């Protein structure tokens, strides 16, 4: 069995996360038992939710254990199998974590899924045709419930979730408006993803200024908002929400270092009779087949053209992860493992 390089959570962050919180080790891969498969990872996924799990705090998921492999999504291929469900060479997606290989019990529900790479590149199963894409689909379809002609806004619009959200909204006849950081990301959002407009939050010092820019981009107000960021960005959007607007609350990257995130205008939830609903996409597995089918069709047809930032080699994962938390990535952040 091959040697396996792994990245562990070595200690919990005190405030901002740093590279010293992680540790690179090498271990022996255990021999397979009946019903197990050995997967060699090609790509691993880096996602904002991982930062919250590094803290030992009450949340929707158990904290990442110290001294164990960082958990996360992976795609790769089966290189050895003792299960009739998988053959050597099968391309698969799972939760193999920050390591080169994983041993997976094939009978464990949801542990491993075969994927077709004929029309969708393997890496996209960690992004647009994976958890981030389904996150966008659920928030839009089940919470925002858009109607044709409405204006839908998403923060972090150039990222894995935001890019899918805009494409899904356009497919439903909506006006899609993004919020992103920097002119390059905003150009990508409008020119490649097909959003109707994109506002550069880095050009605005406060919520009032950003809100004025949103008023220009959303002349009919905002009917639905998909929240990834929180803080000033959410405050600015709240000022532009229409009565009976709906907000799907997916992430608040502004608060992942554990600091409180004050809300400047909570009274607008009452004034505008807003619906604000947080959700965790892993709690809604029943929608995944339908969502993945639509997302796969959009990617395969070229209507959704997701961008990726790819760090090279397992050892690059910590710095790539920290950079993603500061918005240094462009699109879905991945690590190419092999």
User: Residue with structure tokens 């920097």?
Assistant: 182
Long-range CB pairs of 86-91 (<8 Å, 24+ gap) are 86/37, 86/112, 86/114, 90/114, 91/115, 91/116, 91/117, 91/122
Judged against a pLDDT cut of 90, whether residue 232 lies above it is answered with yes
Instruction: Select the more confidently predicted residue: 23 or 119.
Output: 23
Q: Which residues, at least 6 apart from 170, have a Cβ–Cβ distance to it below 8 Å?
A: 176, 194, 195
pLDDT band at 338 (very low <50, low <70, confident <90, very high): confident
Domains detected in the chain: 3-127+307-336 (3.90.180.10), 131-282 (3.40.50.720)
pLDDT of residue 58: 77
Whether 36 contacts 104, CB under 8 Å = yes
Rounded Cα gap, residues 191 and 158, in angstroms = 11
| Three-state SS sequence of 211-260 | HHHHHHHCCCCEEEEEECCCCHHHHHHHCCEEEEEEEEECCCHHHCCCCC
Largest CA distance in the chain: 63
DSSP 284-317: -GGGHHHHHHHHHHHHHTTS----EEEEESGGGH
pTM, rounded to two decimals: 0.92
Q: How, if at all, do strands 101-105 and 112-114 pair? A: unpaired
| Distance between start and end Cα atoms, the chain | 17
Judged by DSSP in three states, 127 sits in coil
- pLDDT confidence band for 195 (50 / 70 / 90): very high
pLDDT at 286 over 80: yes
Query: How many other C-beta atoms lie within 10 A of the C-beta of residue 19?
Result: 11
Q: How confident is the model over 278-284, as a mean pLDDT?
A: 95
Q: Which two tokens stand for residue 240?
A: 């532009």
Query: What confidence tier does 255 reach under pLDDT thresholds 50, 70, 90?
Result: confident
Would you state the pLDDT for residue 73? 97
């Amino acid at each position: 069995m091959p040697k396996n390089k792994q990245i562990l959570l070595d200690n919990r962050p005190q405030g901002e996360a740093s590279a010293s919180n992680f540790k690179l080790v090498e271990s022996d891969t255990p021999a397979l038992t009946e019903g197990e498969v050995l997967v060699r990872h090609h790509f691993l996924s880096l996602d904002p939710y991982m930062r919250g799990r590094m803290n030992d705090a009450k949340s929707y998921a158990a904290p990442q254990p110290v001294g164990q492999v960082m958990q996360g999504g992976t795609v790769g291929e089966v290189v050895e199998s003792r299960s009739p469900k998988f053959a050597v060479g099968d391309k698969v997606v799972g939760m193999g974590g920050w390591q080169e290989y994983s041993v997976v019990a094939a009978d464990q529900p949801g542990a491993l899924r075969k994927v077709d790479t004929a029309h969708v590149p393997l890496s996209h199963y960690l992004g647009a045709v994976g958890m981030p894409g389904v996150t966008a689909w659920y928030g839009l379809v089940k919470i925002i419930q858009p109607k044709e002609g409405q204006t839908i806004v998403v923060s972090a619009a150039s990222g894995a979730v935001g890019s899918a959200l805009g494409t899904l909204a356009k497919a439903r006849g909506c006006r899609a408006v993004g919020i992103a950081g920097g002119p390059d990301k905003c150009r990508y959002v409008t020119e490649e993803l097909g959003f109707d407009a994109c506002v550069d939050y880095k050009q605005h010092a406060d919520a009032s200024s950003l809100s004025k820019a949103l008023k220009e981009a959303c002349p009919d107000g905002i009917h639905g908002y998909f929240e990834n960021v929180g803080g000033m960005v959410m405050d600015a959007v709240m000022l532009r929400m229409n009565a009976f607007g709906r907000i799907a609350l997916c992430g608040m990257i502004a608060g992942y270092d554990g600091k409180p995130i004050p809300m400047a205008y909570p009274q607008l939830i009452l004034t505008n009779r807003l619906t604000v609903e947080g959700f965790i996409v892993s709690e809604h597995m029943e929608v995944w087949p339908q969502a993945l089918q639509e997302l796969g069709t959009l990617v395969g047809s070229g209507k959704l053209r997701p961008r990726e930032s790819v760090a090279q080699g397992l050892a690059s994962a910590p710095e790539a992860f920290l950079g993603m938390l500061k918005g240094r990535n462009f699109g879905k952040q991945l690590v190419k493992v092999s």
